[in-house]
Amino acid sequence: EEEIPEDHPRYQDLLTRHRIEKGVEKGITHLQGMHAEGRGSAFDYLLGEETIPSADAAERAAAAHLLLADRPVLSINGNVAALVPGEMAELADATGADLEVNLFNRTEERIRAIADHLREHGAEDVKGLEADARIPNLDHQRAKVDEDGIYAADVVLVPLEDGDRAEALDEMGKTEIVIDLNPLSRSPQVADVPIVDNIIRAVPNVTAHARELADADESELEAIVEEFDREGALEEAEDRIRSGEL
Ligand code: ATP
Ligand code: MG
């Protein structure tokens, strides 16, 4: 990461790509993660590579949901682990959520490598190795989750999630928070809280909101959740992308 000069106009994008490359080399990110990264990068360019106001509102609503939850879980895949391992550990710490490794291309080896990687970045307890429950209506490999993790969670944060699994989690009745730079993708479309922002900016900002709201009472948190406008947030992101105004 030291090789990329910080004043480079595409610094953040280069850094992101570099982290995915390292993730592939380290065996924590699947090669297909590079494709997902490329799609994300294109949308981020069109958004102006910044957190737009509706994304900030979504990040605050996400923090309120996580603080109100009985059993909040943050889902980690290979791209998330490569891009924001320490930041996810901090968010778990700020909200009392559990971390669970959940992979689209699941192998036990990669799950273990990701769990180790998260612990190297400050995570304490990492779930996802038990895989003793199944999400209904998904094929076997994609359905595997921990019984006392995602399966039992009331609020789940699923960044960069595949559309089928996002739909299946929604059908389970969970409050779903999605981080995805493409507002037209199925995952943000089914989310209770769609965060259309780069995960690199989004996660630290959810944590900052959670820290700021740590002493808020329940009614204040509930008001933030109520006031959040999910359709408006999706529209504002799409308008921004289509406008071509950078
Ligand atoms: P589907 O319609 O099945 O969801 P997809 O084209 O959305 O397919 P996926 O691999 O399922 O592809 O999802 C990757 C998603 O993650 C893309 O929508 C992409 O924009 C988004 N993405 C990639 N990198 C980032 C990032 N750094 N921050 C936020 N979102 C990202
Ligand atoms: Mg998608």
Ligand 1: residue of 20, 160, 164, 199 to mutate (most ligand atoms within 8 A of CB) is 160
pLDDT tens digits, 1-14? 557 888 888 888 99
Distance in Å, CA 246 to ligand 2 centroid: 24
ipTM of predicted assembly, 2 dp: 0.94
- Residue list for the binding site for ATP: 17, 39, 180-182, 186-187, 198-199
Provide the 3-class DSSP secondary structure of residue 96.
Answer: coil
Note the pLDDT of residue 1.
53
Q: What's the average pLDDT block by block, 10 residues per block, for the chain (246 residues)? A: 78 92 96 95 95 98 98 98 98 98 93 98 96 94 95 98 95 98 98 98 98 98 98 98 82
Note the pLDDT of residue 5.
85
Q: Which fold has domain 53-243?
A: Rossmann fold (3.40.50)
Note the pLDDT of residue 246.
67
The Cα-based distances of 31 to 36, 104, 105, 186 in angstroms read 10, 12, 10, 22
For ligand 1, atom 25, which residue shows the shortest CA distance?
A: 40
pLDDT tens digits, 104-136? 889 999 999 999 999 999 999 999 999 999 999
Distance CA 77, CA 125 (A): 16
SS (H, E, C) 98-160: EEEECCCCCCHHHHHHHHHHHHHCCCCCEECCCCCEECCCCCHHHHEECCCCHHHCCEEEEEC
Ligand 1: residue of 14, 80, 182, 196 to mutate (most ligand atoms within 8 A of CB) is 182
